[in-house]
A and B are shown apart, each in its own frame.
Chain A
């Protein structure tokens, strides 16, 4: 990798080059040094509960088959036949003991082993070792509270280290009650003409855009008014390693404004506080991004999603809606409706985001435009490490300190530097340590 990558991201001064959002060469480096190295979200355990259940997804642009074998063990494998490289499984999900390639009929068991090769005896003269040509597994596969993640990098730190303090913030979304979460059935999948980092950074720390971008939805009742109300305890939080969280004060409304949901939230609050600890009395985490491309959201809609990169100027969104497993049916139904009406491609909030991210991406095609850096200076010098929150915290509720942490991590990884040489989270505290 050329040595000037660090110059693309000047987090100390809050300046980021537009080149990283549009240039194909940099995008290829991202696929290699970010998507083929980081832990990436695959699916939730409740999508593949029983033997044979499978779900097909992507890690970067690599197609991946996540499947539970006959013995109940989960595998994540390249969804590619080893023979001619055809895509093996063409369904989004289902249940299978084995998968057969449509081209020549090579067959793989649901643990990845190659078991069937037509004309093995005659055409390969019995000299073919099937054991060496099973599906290619990911380097590491692990789950956190039912969320399956994988990495192609055998040297990547274990998932729990990769998440670090972010694990607690994930708990605040996904482990609020015994049993954790489950999905509402179905998914939203759609293509956005923008660079994947714009949605990732937006969910990671852009509280600033909400009261303007989404004002029309807030004013017509679909989002509640929490963001327009003064919130002295609102804060941008960087728990390290590029992960980002937006928090509001503990008493702020941060849920889809349906009466069933609000009553439910009041009712479970003592249980949640007992489970998650006193930090909840300081802040309520509402939005976040697990570096690089897994984002979660609590208010307006209970959604989490993966921003799959599809070239420097294209992103495929895969979005799910989730509810506490123990929530009563009427609450789950209210959450489903909020997920349809407020987020997703027709969502009264989300439809306006895509247009903005498209514009931010496409104007970077101009060579002159690209010579002017983007401004990420909001709140520069006005954040500090807060031990009680386990994160770098902004002084004011609007700040771009999360963006700066995100891109600092990006800049470290993109050079291909070994994991051991990365600052622990790319925070100033770590650098000075």
Chain B
């Protein structure tokens, strides 16, 4: 199945290890170290979903097909769940250090499971596209439990020999978020 454009197993293994290490840093609440995995020009974006009938649906007769929007994913110019740059990500981490970030005090217990990793070459020699899915379990206080499930598309960039996250675009697969907040990172 392998063709000449496919990344080699060495690169895939390297990317997997990078993502697993990142997940461990998050679960261990080593947020300052986690922040170092991003480039200075990073964008960190999480879209939500909504319920839309596809054009083919017989549940409605569309009156104005020319204007009809089929996509059920939040656009990048819309009200996303996260839309951060390195500075605002750092401010979120700094907030956790104030001793007054009540939604994380006591902290959530998280477990980030990263799967379905695909590596794709990009047009840039120093960047690659990486697709993955996440399942994040959050336990908090006594019996609170949340599952956050979605997909990521990262652009990883080689900087001084290390991989950094230059862009992370995520989609969370809930139209109505059943968790009370998104006080953790993904």
A188, B81: Cβ atoms closer than 8 Å: yes
Q: Which residues of A contact B63 (CB under 8 A)?
A: 51-52, 70, 95-97, 110
| Chain A positions within 8 Å of B60 at CB level | 89, 91, 94-100
Pick the contact of A189 from B69, B83, B176 — CB < 8 Å?
Answer: B176
B90 CB → nearest A CB, Å: 9
**Using a CB-CB cutoff of 8 Å, which residues 192-224 of chain A contact chain B?**
192-193, 212-213, 215-217, 219-222
* Known contacts A92-B51, A217-B95, A348-B92; A341/B102 CB under 8 A: no
In contact, A220 and B98 (Cβ under 8 angstroms): yes
Residues of chain B from 164 to 186 with CB closer than 8 A to chain A in the complex:
175-183
Q: Check if A190 is an interface residue, CB within 8 A of chain B.
A: yes
Which residues of chain B in 42-84 are interfacial with respect to chain A, using CB atoms and an 8 Å cutoff? 46, 48, 50-53, 58-64, 67-69, 74-75, 77-84
Please indicate the chain B residues that have their CB under 8 angstroms from the CB of A351 in the complex. 103, 181-183
Q: Which residues of A contact B180 (CB under 8 A)?
A: 190-193, 345, 354-355, 358
Once the chains are docked, how many angstroms separate the CA of A352 from the CA of B102?
Answer: 5
Cβ of B65 to closest chain A Cβ, rounded Å? 8
**Cross-chain contact B175 with A92 (CB below 8 angstroms):** yes
B11 at the interface (CB under 8 A from A): no
A-chain residues with CB within 8 Å of residue B52 when the two chains form the complex:
91-94
A-B contacts counted at CB < 8 A amount to 164
A356 / chain B contacts, CB cutoff of 8 Å: 102
**Contact of A98 with B61 in the complex, beta carbons under 8 Å:** yes
| Contact status A355-B98, CB under 8 Å | no
Could you tell me the distance between the alpha carbons of A320 and B74 in the complex, rounded to whole angstroms? 13
A401 → B minimal CB distance (Å): 26
B68 touches A346 (CB 8 A): no
Q: How large is the interface on B (under 10, 10 to 19, 20 to 34, 35 or more residues)?
A: 35 or more
Q: Is the CB of B177 within 8 A of A191?
A: yes
The complex places the Cα of A333 from the Cα of B80 at a distance, in Å, of 12
A422: CB under 8 A from chain B? Answer: no
Q: Are A222 and B91 in contact (CB under 8 A)?
A: yes
| A340, B85: Cα distance in complex, Å | 12
Interface centre among A89, A91, A358 (most CB of B within 10 A): A91
**Assembled-state Cα–Cα distance A96/B65 (Å):** 9
**Complex Cα spacing A90 to B50, Å:** 11
Interface membership of B94, Cβ < 8 A? yes
B64 adjacent to A221 (CB under 8 Å): no
A355 contacts B103, CB within 8 Å? yes
Given A50-B64, A91-B53; A341-B81 close (CB under 8 Å):
no
A102, A185, A217: the one contacting B75 at CB < 8 Å is A185
- Give per-residue flags for A320-359: 1 if the beta carbon is below 8 A from chain B beta carbons, else 0: 1100000000000100110111001110101110111010
CA distance A219 to B101 in the complex (A): 11
Cβ contact within 8 Å between A185 and B64: no
B92 to chain A, nearest CB (A): 6
Chain B residue at minimal CB-CB distance from A96: B60
CB distance from B32 to the nearest CB of A (A): 14
User: How far apart are the CA atoms of A193 and B59 in the complex, in Å?
Assistant: 33
Residue numbers in A under 8 Å from B1 (CB-CB): none
B177, chain A: closest CB distance, angstroms? 4
1/0 per residue, CB under 8 A from B, across A252-277: the answer is 00000000000000000000000000
Cβ-defined contact, B81 with A345, below 8 A: yes
Beta-carbon contact of A346 and B81 below 8 Å: yes
The answer for the CA separation of A339 and B180 in the assembled complex, in Å, is 17
Instruction: Compute how far the CA of A96 lies from the CA of B92 in the bound complex, rounded to whole angstroms.
Output: 42
Q: Which 9 pairs between the two chains have the least Cβ-Cβ distance?
A: A52-B63, A186-B78, A186-B79, A346-B182, A190-B177, A96-B60, A185-B78, A351-B181, A97-B63
Residues of A bordering B, CB below 8 Å: 50-52, 70, 89-100, 102, 110, 184-193, 212-213, 215-217, 219-222, 316, 320-321, 333, 336-337, 339-341, 344-346, 348, 350-352, 354-356, 358
9 A-B residue pairs with Cβ-Cβ distance under 8 Å, sorted by A, are A95-B67, A96-B61, A100-B58, A336-B78, A345-B179, A346-B183, A348-B92, A352-B102, A355-B102
